[in-house]
Amino acid sequence: MAPEYDFDLEDEPRQLDITDLERIERFKEAGYGGSVADALYNVGVRDFVFDQDFFAIDDGEILAGRALPVKLHTQAATDETEDPGEQAEGDEEVHPQKRMMRTVESQPDGSILCFDTGGDMQPAHFGEMSCTLAYSHGARGMLCAGNVRDTRYVRQMEEFPVYTLGTTPNWHGGWEIIDVDVPIHLPGHLSHYVTVRPGDFIFGDFDGVQIIPREVVDEVLLRIEDIYEEENEERRKIAEGMPIDEVYEEYGVL
């Protein structure tokens, strides 16, 4: 069940007339884990942090973009298990992975593929060729609650950060995409899981990965930009030797 947020706002959340690619650039320019967390908390959002076991395969990359949730399911491992990237000859039904890529293509540029694997950590669920295909049709990163592979080449990609729970070289063992663009549940830090809905926003950096509910994405962005400006001034004063008593009198506990 998708969460019903009770935001702590006196007025309606502010909205910006910009594209998601512009949002991504502004989040990357002004945002970092702490400011995103503070802005989320101050608008009344709780349980917004994903499990600390998520890590970037290329240190230093910022993950930011609109969530495209994908639900996967493990298949029993047999010699006949079909390659998840292939479609049987003569099969009229669109292969689920192709449907996922078509969904990426149909959405505005800037989506983040979010994989709910149901806790399956045996096979690799995504690789470099799939990342390249997703990127070429507008995706701008991935959050995988499973494994990825081909990390040597994924790390060479520009503008496609991948955060994952693990890496492994093989896909063998089997998995299939069950549904695309529906709410999913990924492991949480402040809660057992975090619900990811279509249109929510993802932000990740060295500090961890967080979700920004779709209703307050721009409100959170604007607050982050305010924090960015305020902290730059605060940082300058402290670095220049502002007396300790004045620091705590003006800014409180740091």
- pLDDT tens readout for residues 201-228: 999 999 999 999 999 999 999 999 999 9
**Residue 60: pLDDT band by 50, 70, 90 thresholds?**
confident
User: Is residue 131 in a domain?
Assistant: yes
User: Is residue 230 in a domain?
Assistant: no
Model confidence, pTM: 0.89
pLDDT at 2 over 80: no
User: Which CATH number is 205's domain given?
Assistant: 3.50.30.40
Domain count, the chain: 1
The residue range of the domain holding 151 is 47-79+94-211
**Residue 1: pLDDT band by 50, 70, 90 thresholds?**
low
pLDDT (mean) for 235-246: 89
Determine the length of the chain.
254
CA distance 211 to 200: 7
**Per-residue DSSP letter, 158:** S
**Residue 66: pLDDT band by 50, 70, 90 thresholds?**
very high
User: Is residue 219 in a domain?
Assistant: no
User: Is residue 121 in a domain?
Assistant: yes
Least confident interval from 2-11, 84-93, 235-244: 84-93
Of residues 226, 65, 17, 45, the one with CA closest to residue 161: 65
Least confident interval from 34-48, 112-126, 165-179, 220-234: 165-179
Structure tokens at 176: 């299939």
User: Is residue 153 in a domain?
Assistant: yes
All residues at 6 or more sequence positions from 8 whose CB lies less than 8 Å from its CB, including other chains:
42, 43, 44
User: Is residue 137 in a domain?
Assistant: yes
Scanning the chain, the segments in alpha helix (DSSP H) are: 20-30, 33-42, 96-106, 128-136, 151-154, 217-239, 244-251
| Paired sense of beta strands 139-148 and 162-167, if any | parallel
Q: Using the structure block, give the residue that is written with the tokens 């010699």.
A: 79
User: Is residue 253 in a domain?
Assistant: no
User: Is residue 216 in a domain?
Assistant: no
